Amino acid sequence: MRNVKVALIEDDTAIVNMYVTRFNLTGGFEVRVANDGLHGLELIADFKPDIILLDMMMPRMSGIETLGRLRKLPKGESYRVIALTNMKDNDTVNKIKQLHVSDYLVKAEHSPGAIIDRIYDILGKH
């Protein structure tokens, strides 16, 4: 069975390192990282991930803008996206959910292991 391809679009180096380490320890994942939305869209086009972990607060292009642009691309609606953020206000949550995310997770409330479990659930790998 091939590895699950994960695009991690996140600007916080400590968070990137934490997730990449956990993916590597778990095994079965191929992870590529972009540190902003603009590079994230390029990564998605080249890598064609099975799932995208997308931070909402980033420089150059927010996660919401990235997701909006992704959804307008050919086959952009087919990508499974987990929105990762610490924003909980209703307006933000509603905007993100309107862009058809597979899940909306508050980073501070979910460990990397819990996020891996959600990836398995979303991809039907459990």
Per-residue pLDDT tens digits for 34-70:
999 999 999 999 999 999 999 999 988 999 999 999 9
How far apart CA 84 and CA 10 sit, in angstroms, is: 9
Lookup: tokens for 82: 């987990």
Residue 72 makes CB contacts below 8 A (sequence gap 6+) with: none
The residue ranking higher by pLDDT, 114 or 88, is: 114
Residue 95 is predicted with a pLDDT of 81
Lookup: tokens for 80: 């499974």
Pairing of strands 103-106, 29-34: unpaired
How far apart CA 35 and CA 120 sit, in angstroms, is: 24
- Model pTM? 0.93
Lookup: tokens for 52: 């995208």
Going from the C-alpha of 80 to that of each of 77, 89, 119, the distances in angstroms are 8, 23, 9
The three-state secondary structure class of 31 is strand
